[in-house]
Structure 1
């Protein structure tokens, strides 16, 4: 897949998680989503949209 921001072929499927944290220590995963992520410029979008 080609990144729409940097135009490199560096977009791959990934999983993003939000964590419940106490004093900056992640304890419990609260939610997760499937995303497309560019390994060069860190552009991301939900997999259902892209």
Structure 2
């Protein structure tokens, strides 16, 4: 029987407001910008709940 290698669990990376602004500025496709903006509005900076 093959066993899967267990990887250590890590916390998600929290982006700063500046990082999010740079990410949105680098996105050229309007659909991608809308998706990122909607996601940003759902999880505010510093939120720990998912």
Q: TM-score, normalised by structure 2?
A: 0.23
Higher RCO, 1 or 2 (CA under 8 Å, sep at least 6)?
2
Query: Radius of gyration: which is bigger?
Result: 2
User: Higher strand proportion, which one?
Assistant: 1
Q: TM-score, normalised by structure 1?
A: 0.23
